[in-house]
Amino acid sequence: MNPLLELDKVDACYGSAHILHKLSLKVNAGERVALVGRNGVGKTTVVNTILGLASLRSGRVALGGQVFARPRPYIAAQHGVVVVPQGRRIVANLSVEENLLLGAAVGRKGPWNVPEIYKLFPILAERAHTPGTALSGGQQQMLAVGRALMANPSLILLDEPTEGLAPVIVDQLADIFNRVADQGTALLLIEQNMSLVVRVARRYYAMAKGSVIAQGQVEASRESLHDLEAHVMV
């Protein structure tokens, strides 16, 4: 079976700025994979390369085994790959429910719809007609996750989903991510909070200076947490 997502020896850039160097990773159906590393190593550029927002200089990007020389956001969405972006990007002047409905625009069929999202995030049901940008940071992150699920994805790319959030909200999101994964959706968790990584991921890639420098299994142990934190400090 082909991986849902595969980057093979990818070099990517923004204009003349060369960011990714021979980077390879893959995510299979139903997997929970983390991509870790300190700020500035190129983690978000991995997402932007998959979406075609960074220029693919060499190597290949494949979705479901199909290689795309010029990746684009709509291509990823059509192949069941959606992003919860860093900073959440809730659409101003739209209500919570209207923001959710944007996620369904790709038209993929599956179990996720507005009532199911409200079961997962009851606070969103309570604030369905509130402007999305009027929510707290944690609630906006829930809305961003719900919007991604509305696309009925095979794989969600979670780009720094706990940035700036209180520990109690991080705990809630960890439980949500595990519930979503338990239902069969694969996750690529791009994160610096290693306690969250240990709770959610089963496998990891560690980055430094635009390249993967280590990979392995994630164990729910203090030793695994220490090893991952060491990679982030590189």
Tell me: pLDDT of 43 over 90.
yes
Supply the CATH classification number for the domain 1-79+187-234.
3.40.50.300
Here the tokens at position 128 are 């369905």
Helix (H) or strand (E) holding 63: strand 55-63
Q: Is the CB of residue 131 less than 8 Å from the CB of residue 114? A: no
CA distance 175 to 62: 30
When pLDDT is cut at 50, 70 and 90, the band that residue 233 belongs to is: low
Confidence bin at 118 (pLDDT 50/70/90): very high
Alpha helices in the chain (DSSP H): 43-51, 73-78, 96-103, 114-120, 122-126, 137-149, 167-182, 194-200, 222-232
Q: What is the pLDDT of residue 24?
A: 97
* Contact predicate 169/138, CB 8 Å: yes
User: Given CA atoms 72, 87, 167, 138 in this order, what sign does their dihedral have?
Assistant: negative
Other Cβ atoms within 10 Å of 5 Cβ, number: 26
Mean pLDDT of the chain: 91
Read off the pLDDT of each residue in 33-49 and give the average, rounded to a whole number.
Answer: 94
State residue 72's pLDDT score. Answer: 87
95 or 223, higher pLDDT: 95
| Among 10, 62, 5, residue whose Cα is nearest residue 31 | 5
DSSP reduced 3-state for 76: helix
Which pLDDT tens digit goes with each residue over 188-232?
999 988 889 999 999 999 999 999 999 999 976 566 666 666 766
> Residue 109: is its pLDDT beyond 70?
yes
pLDDT, position 224: 63
